[in-house]
Structure formats: structure tokens, C-alpha cells
Structure 1
């Protein structure tokens, strides 16, 4: 079971290059007792693409979540103030 919720929404924009991208991550429990890491990405304002990864242990899901976050931050994605 999840100790705490994991959800993240980050964006990367560059008007000079006409770039407006988003990336969303979330770890949620499934009905079968496993965990699902959901990833969504695409151009801001579109439904984009998505993929799901299933894990038996929370630490595996969190490790992938943090690896993806680290990679996206290195590419210039930032959190958006609400």
C-alpha cells in the first residue's frame, strides 16, 4: 500500500522554438493490490500519449518515478505554479 501519494505535473516551454510540452506522473494502487505508475505527455492543451507500468513493490515504482523526474528536470521541465 502507498505510504504517501505520488503525483507530478511539469512543463517545458520555449516560445522561440514553439515548444509547449507537459509531462505528468502518478503512482496509484490497482484493484489487484499492485501499484501502477501512469505517465502522460504531449503538447500542452492536447490529450497526448500515455503508458502504464505495474509493480509489485512500492520502492520499485518510486525508483522509476524519481528516475523519470530526474531525466525530465535535466531536459528543462519545471513545475508550474498554481
Structure 2
């Protein structure tokens, strides 16, 4: 994106669709492991849809992989397929619970 007001670039089709974030966690008490998996679909600099996956043990650096697609529908298809696979392996969505605390504390 340019900072010049004269150069209005057309929006990429990736910008039309909301970013699909998913953060899942699993805790296996038998093996004493806690793992996390995160995925999101974001546009890259070339206007392609990019599925970004991060996974590993909670508290560790973990691994990262990017998949590039010409069409956003393909990225969403893989996103949903991977999400189903993670859920079948015991991963559950991380709930974002925001608690507003009083200012006088």
C-alpha cells in the first residue's frame, strides 16, 4: 500500500474476507504435554491468500509453515480440513474470555 493519496491501489480479494484465526490447544495428562496450534488466512504482498500455520508445545518456539494460494477459496478449504484434523486429535478452541477489572484495584 502506498502512502500517496493519488495512487489508489485496488483492494485484493483477500482483504474482502475477514482473517480466519483459529487457536486450538490440547492437554494430554498421560504424556504430560500441552500443545498449541494456530492458523490464520492473511493476504501477502502479491495479493495471494496465505494460510499461516504455527504449532508446537506451549511455551516453546514451535514451528511455522505458510501455504500460498492464488484463490482464497482454496486457502479456506485447507484451513477447514486442517481444523477438522486438529479437532479429531483432541485439540479444542481456545476461548478468549476477557474480564474487565475495576479501575480501583
TM-score, normalising length: structure 1:
0.94
Q: How many residues align?
A: 82
Q: Which residue of 2 aligns with 1:36?
A: 50
Q: Which residue of 2 aligns with 1:67?
A: 81
Q: Which residue of 2 aligns with 1:11?
A: 25
Q: Which residue of 2 aligns with 1:20?
A: 34
Moved over 2 A (4+): none
Q: Deviation of residue 16 (structure 1)?
A: 2.7
| Unaligned runs of at least 5 residues, structure 2 | 1-12, 97-105
Q: Secondary structure at the match of 1:59?
A: helix
Paired with 2:20 and 2:57, the residues of 1 have a C-alpha distance of 22
Paired with 1:54 and 1:81, the residues of 2 have a C-alpha distance of 28
What RMSD, in angstroms, separates the aligned Cα atoms of the two structures?
Answer: 0.9
Q: Deviation of residue 15 (structure 1)?
A: 2.3
Greater percentage in strand: 1
| Unaligned runs of at least 5 residues, structure 1 | none
Higher relative contact order (CA closer than 8 Å, sequence separation 6+): 1
Highest CA radius of gyration, 1 or 2? Answer: 2
